[in-house]
Structure 1
Amino acid sequence: MEDPEIVSQQHISPPDKNKKPRLNRFALACATLASTNSILLGYDIGVMSGAVLYIRDTMKITSVQVEILVGSLNVCSLIGSLASGRTSDLIGRRYTIVLAAATFLIGALLMGLAPSFPFLLAGRVIAGIGVGYSLMIAPVYTAEVSPKMTRGFLTALPEVFINIGILLGYIFNFALSGLPAHINWRLMLGLAALPAAVVAAGVMVMPESPRWLVMKGRLSEAKRVLRKTSENDEEAVSRFEEIIKAATAASSAGDFQGQGVWKELLIRPTRATRRILLSAIGMNFFMQASGNDAVIYYTPEVFKNAGIRRRKQLVGVTVIMGIAKTAFCLVSALMLDNFGRRPLLLLGTLGMAVSLAGLGLGSKFLEHSNSKPLWAIILCVVAVCADVSFFSIGLGPITWVYSSEIFPMRLRAQGSSLAVSVNRLVSGAVAMSFLSISRKISFGGMFFVLSGVMVVGFIFFFFFVPETKGRSLEEIGSMFEKDKEKDKGRDDDEEPNNNNAAAAAGATDG
């Protein structure tokens, strides 16, 4: 169907399929604004790795309290990620981003002004809820507003901004480490309130997601957004018709406004929905089971164990790691729409397995050596930088891209929130047990375990994660439905039927 409000010309030449897709500037601006919310989590990850050294000295807390303090943000972000799906369906994607930033701002102020450990922990809890909201909503909004040919790059921007936030956290650690110990960590944590305020204000100039607008019946607004985020009127018409078709199917199923979604996801999922859930949850599980967040949080502890003693040097090494991590994440984002999701995911996972094995080898040697040889220290530093770099090539950006694009429209918000909830739960569990387990089996043993986890992850991704490059969000949902129909067809063929030969002959004749 042609819509007169979008199509200004009756005769439009067909697009050149060999032509390299252009990056729509308005879509890029929307994706960038939404993704800046992810700086908040990245900054906390980066800054906490250095701040915890001074918090331990100032508040005289134990190692178990350190693990609780660090991991509480990730565990409590489970609350925000679970609530974000329903919230974003009710109030919209844009206002959910504002809510996420405002919640994190309150948590950051509490952490910076905390007079005691319980107050500091309360600030972490509130900030964690804000992080949970932002981790789910930024990729979903970006995926829904992006054209299909550049969606990979745009939806990877949240991970790029997480890495920028981590790097900023490292830089502020380094810059503020010379201040008195009772002041520097407060500034490190409290300064996170500034970007949160900027994000909350900046997001208000963004348009709403066109798919959410269609779900709410605001079709003229959806058309205007699609016109701005598409390369031409024909693309806008095509995207609008696909969204309307998906919304109509959701409406006829009785879940147009989000009712019954959890039942369809968890209680009575179709075969296609089970496959989507397995892929999305599996990817989010392995993203955090890789130990990436814990390695970043506890890098100073690892390097201290490796023989780097001065705190300025410890923080300085993390800055180098942050630069490598951010650079490779940006490279991956730029390549996603050319090389696809699967090749980069498999490369990154295999690279992490090798890097973690190297880190385990170096750590094991240092544990049994009194001299702390330079080559082993260099091996550990290089292996950590390689590990976070391969994470930034594969699991880091692709998890957010995949989780936000794989679910059909009626399930996207709450399905993504479920996948991100698994992400946060595993991240918190790893962060809160990393030091305790490492004391039992040593840092080297822990890294060997994580390397084994990545080998299992590689096998999972190879068999269960299909390619989604170049497909619209509606086409991706249809892809799983078609796979379901193929499987059903195979099952039917395997059933005994006296008419099989005749049916096959008839199909051949046709």
Structure 2
Amino acid sequence: MDSKLSEVGSDAPALPQDRTAAMDDEYIRNAINAEKSLGFIEACKLYPTAIGWSVFFSLGVIMLAFDPQLLGNLYATPAFQRDFGYEYNGKYIISAPWQTGLSMGNPVGQCLGALAAGYPMDWFGRKKTFAACVAGTAGCVFIQFFARSAPVLLVGELLGGLILGAYVVIAPAYASEVCPIAIRGQLTSYINLCFVIGQLLANGVTAGTSQLDSHWAYSLPFALQWFWILIIIPGLPFAPESPWWLARKGLLKEAENSLSRLSSSKVNVKSTLAVILETDRMEQEMESGSTYRDCFKRVNLRRTEISIGVYSTQVLSGIYLINYGTYFFQLAGLPTPKAFDMGIGFLAVGFLGTCLSWFLMIHFGRRTIYNGGLAILALLQIIIGILDCIPNYQRHTGVIWAQSSLMIVWNFFYDLSIGPICFVIICECSATKVRAKTIAIATAFQAVLGIAMTVAIPYLINPDQANLRGKLGFFFGGLAALCLIWAYFRVPETRGRTYEELDIMFERGVPTRDFATYIVSEELLRTTD
């Protein structure tokens, strides 16, 4: 047959209905080996619906990315500056305190919303939690659309951010639970592409509306957030629930039906369900738990640290500058139309970088791509800072364009490496029973750092404050270098490993440098001591 999964086909022993019953070791071992032997192309053919529904659940991340990028671009929009700002040296600007306050909604929302999403995802499932968040977002957009003053807009951003923060937990958790190993990296890293798509769309929309002289210059971009809601709502009734969540709830028949909907008829879903139940059994024996407190127990602490570290590195290396990309280019000396054009190019190369990362993941490990990319990012930031130190900086248009171009190159390598690989590592390093909560904790830590950056960046780059411009490269380049040192010693290679293998390796404290070569053979099944 075409599928290697048919090696554990219909002649395999019946799946025990009791989750605590002893399972046939050979049956599960064959199922694991069959999944690990799948190639990328074959996996795509066998799991087309899993890919489709993973993409569907990731649409919320596009909304999450659209909102802060939109707001950052509006700071450079004349109509928005006039209606929400004040006059400074003959031009209207948004004051640093109000930039900080308005931009705070997204990181605060990611922190609180992500932590709040963990429990309903466990209680009600990924699907119902996603549906509730979409309905809440639809209501919050009304506040943003009708806002005509900074305080009202602040309320809309804060309430909207609380809900948007849940999407970045739901999407990777769902993607990691519906796809086989061969395409797990691509589907979880697709979350990063959704960030880029949301940011790119926000840049494109504001580039088109920025020259309007009425409130539609900012009201229309806010209204376009309803577009995604109108796409998501009709599809929700047909979306399959995560089979991992159903299996943990003891709904084995429903889990089997979900697996059938997520794969082609050539896949033996009974063997897949057997592996899910065996992995869940092993994690119960390891006492991995299912609460936020359990994420910090010895069995999970290292896994939680890695998840927090790789996600926080995104902020520390300078990703929050993307939200101010157009504004940054404007302050660097580019005319407003050119600044918006550069902002679009900035994210377009990010889109390309994320797509190329999928091909890199087929040939290279997560650790190699992550550490190599982080080293390049640190170097580029430092070069940007050096260029800003050239005497009479703003008289040299060539230097301004070089600095802006390096920011675009920086974003390409970010979205080629630590941007997408971060979500892959988080999903693969976290234990399945606490995956949603581990992602939530990592998101919350990242958001706290994001709050700090949201407070600091306006004061660092605004012309009426520190006016550092490209000298921020020294700051973020130094932080990226420190993150690289941590990543070298702490981020393991997880490529090609099943969740059960990763459970055993973390339980046994395999050193970071040995993850790529560690052999888990016959000890894989039913032995964790």
| Code of the aligned partner of 2:355 | L
Are residues 1:385 and 2:408 paired? yes
Query: How far is the alpha carbon of 1:8 from its aligned partner?
Result: 2.3
1:163 to 185, 196, 202: 196
| Code of the aligned partner of 2:295 | L
Structure 1, residues 160-184: CA drift from partner, whole Å, max 9, x if none? 1111111111110111122114221
Contact 2:240 2:262 in 1 (8 A): no
* 1:496 corresponding residue in structure 2: none
Structure 2 CA distance for partners of 1:299 and 1:225, relative to 1, 3 Å? same
Query: How far is the alpha carbon of 1:108 from its aligned partner?
Result: 2.1
Query: How far is the alpha carbon of 1:185 from its aligned partner?
Result: 0.9
* 2:27 corresponding residue in structure 1: none
> Within 5 Å, which residues of 2 pair with 1:497-508?
none
Query: How far is the alpha carbon of 1:228 from its aligned partner?
Result: 4.3
CA distance in 2, matches of 1:453, 1:48: 26
User: What TM-score do you get using the length of structure 1 for normalisation?
Assistant: 0.86
2:426 to 403, 423, 428: 403
**2:205 counterpart SS class:** helix
| Mean CA deviation greater in 437-446 or 320-329 | 437-446
Structure 1, residues 104-124: CA drift from partner, whole Å, max 9, x if none? 222222111113211101111
Query: How far is the alpha carbon of 1:9 from its aligned partner?
Result: 3.6
Query: How far is the alpha carbon of 1:193 from its aligned partner?
Result: 2.1
Contact 1:147 1:229 in 2 (8 A): no
* 1:132 corresponding residue in structure 2: 165
Structure 2 CA distance for partners of 1:340 and 1:238, relative to 1, 3 Å? farther
Higher helix share: 1
CA distance in 1, matches of 2:399, 2:363: 38
Structure 1, residues 14-56: CA drift from partner, whole Å, max 9, x if none? 8594855431211111111111111102222332222223333
| Code of the aligned partner of 1:410 | K
**1:401 counterpart SS class:** helix
CA distance in 1, matches of 2:432, 2:503: 8
Contact 2:108 2:161 in 1 (8 A): yes
Contact 1:73 1:124 in 2 (8 A): yes
| Code of the aligned partner of 1:407 | S
Structure 2 CA distance for partners of 1:76 and 1:395, relative to 1, 3 Å? same
1:461 to 475, 484, 487: 487
Identical counterparts, % of pairs: 23
Are residues 1:333 and 2:335 paired? no
Are residues 1:291 and 2:323 paired? no
| Code of the aligned partner of 1:265 | C
| Mean CA deviation greater in 123-132 or 54-63 | 54-63
Structure 2 CA distance for partners of 1:19 and 1:211, relative to 1, 3 Å? closer
CA distance in 2, matches of 1:263, 1:292: 29
* 1:346 corresponding residue in structure 2: 371
Are residues 1:22 and 2:53 paired? no
| Code of the aligned partner of 2:358 | A
**1:440 counterpart SS class:** coil
Contact 1:352 1:386 in 2 (8 A): no
Query: How far is the alpha carbon of 1:250 from its aligned partner?
Result: 4.9
* 1:305 corresponding residue in structure 2: 331
Structure 1, residues 261-280: CA drift from partner, whole Å, max 9, x if none? 223223xx11x412111111
**2:466 counterpart SS class:** helix
Q: Report the number of matched residues.
A: 473
Query: How far is the alpha carbon of 1:304 from its aligned partner?
Result: 2.2
CA distance in 1, matches of 2:286, 2:106: 37
1:263 to 286, 293, 296: 293
Query: How far is the alpha carbon of 1:251 from its aligned partner?
Result: 5.2
Query: How far is the alpha carbon of 1:484 from its aligned partner?
Result: 6.1
Contact 1:106 1:123 in 2 (8 A): no
> Within 5 Å, which residues of 2 pair with 1:243-282?
243-250=276-283, 258=290, 261-266=291-296, 269-270=297-298, 272-282=299-309
| Code of the aligned partner of 1:240 | L
**1:419 counterpart SS class:** helix
1:374 to 383, 386, 397: 397
| Code of the aligned partner of 1:165 | G
Query: How far is the alpha carbon of 1:481 from its aligned partner?
Result: 0.8
Query: How far is the alpha carbon of 1:325 from its aligned partner?
Result: 0.8
Contact 1:75 1:428 in 2 (8 A): yes
Q: Unaligned 5+ residue runs, structure 1?
A: 1-5, 487-510
CA distance in 1, matches of 2:393, 2:241: 60
* 2:386 corresponding residue in structure 1: 361
**2:75 counterpart SS class:** helix
